[in-house]
Amino acid sequence: MTVPTLTFDGAGVTVPTPHGDKLILAPTSLELTERRIGVIGANGSGKSTLARMVNGLVTATTGRVLVDGVDVAAHAARVRRRVGFVFTDPAAQVVMPTCVEDVELSLRRHVKRARERRERALDVLARFGLRDLADTSVHSLSGGQRQLLAIAGVLATEPAVVVADEPTTLLDLANTRRIGDLLHGLDQQVVLVTHDLELVRRCDRVLVVEHGRVRFDGPADEAVADYVASVEQAVGA
């Protein structure tokens, strides 16, 4: 699978407040062509905003974001067909009553015939080891199973890029490893926003975001070292 090019062309975000515009992400210029891209940083640093800009959940107030040359703001629907998004809390992402129905929801735009859609959804569940839970209520799933289902729902439409915003934050250690291995094993380009430094060490390129700016952009080990050093400095260690 060819790796898409994600371009940030002076893309930044500010939000209006009663005290003037608040900077969320400073104008950023990047060209991301690697298969595994990690994004780390403190809470509220702007890393989720950066990730959300890739599929148009957050629109740049300055500059633009392009996916393989297609402007996300101008062609959001077209871009979303190519960019899947995994949220931190699968409870918000999984919206249908049973596992198979939730995957079917993702396929509604792509497969019009109900029977074919059901078969495709069952195939997707089988790929993720969830076939036996097809008719199970999503409320009875464990946190790990629910996140797995959320990822299955995203991958059902075979996007070229998967953006995952802290997908392991709510999971236990075993499920963190399971989901991490799954994401790292995908054919797709993956943009992984995380606090898990072990997970991010397996990325080809890592961005460190701080106070709405990309303060470091480079290989994983160097990025992690830079981030840890900045955290230690901040807490006075």
Task: Give residues in contact with another protein (CB under 8 A).
Answer: 55-57, 76-77, 80-81, 84-85, 87, 89, 91-93, 95-98, 101, 104-106, 108-109, 114, 118, 135, 137, 139-142, 153-154, 157
> Which of residues 80 and 205 has its CB atom nearest to another protein in the complex?
80
Q: Nearest distance from residue 225's CB to another protein, in Å?
A: 32
Q: Nearest distance from residue 222's CB to another protein, in Å?
A: 31
Give the Cα-Cα-Cα angle 10, 14, 20 (nearest 5 degrees).
Answer: 135
Q: Which residue type does 115 have?
A: R
> Which of residues 101 and 204 has its CB atom nearest to another protein in the complex?
101
> Which of residues 108 and 211 has its CB atom nearest to another protein in the complex?
108
**Residues 93 and 153 sit within 8 Å (Cβ to Cβ):** yes
99-107 vs 114-127: helix axis angle to the nearest 10?
120
Q: Nearest distance from residue 139's CB to another protein, in Å?
A: 4
Non-local CB neighbours of 18 within 8 Å, separated by 6+ positions:
none
Q: Nearest distance from residue 83's CB to another protein, in Å?
A: 8
| Angstrom distance (rounded) from CA 79 to CA 53 | 11
> Which of residues 32 and 141 has its CB atom nearest to another protein in the complex?
141
> Which of residues 107 and 203 has its CB atom nearest to another protein in the complex?
107
> Which of residues 91 and 186 has its CB atom nearest to another protein in the complex?
91
**Residues 168 and 175 sit within 8 Å (Cβ to Cβ):** yes
**Residues 178 and 153 sit within 8 Å (Cβ to Cβ):** no
Q: Nearest distance from residue 105's CB to another protein, in Å?
A: 7
Q: Nearest distance from residue 78's CB to another protein, in Å?
A: 9
Burial zone of 103 (CB within 10 Å; 0-12 exposed, 13-18 middle, 19+ buried): buried
SS3 198: helix
| Angstrom distance (rounded) from CA 166 to CA 185 | 17
Q: Nearest distance from residue 137's CB to another protein, in Å?
A: 5
Which among 116, 139, 141, 113 has a CA at the least distance from the CA of 129? 141
> Which of residues 73 and 105 has its CB atom nearest to another protein in the complex?
105
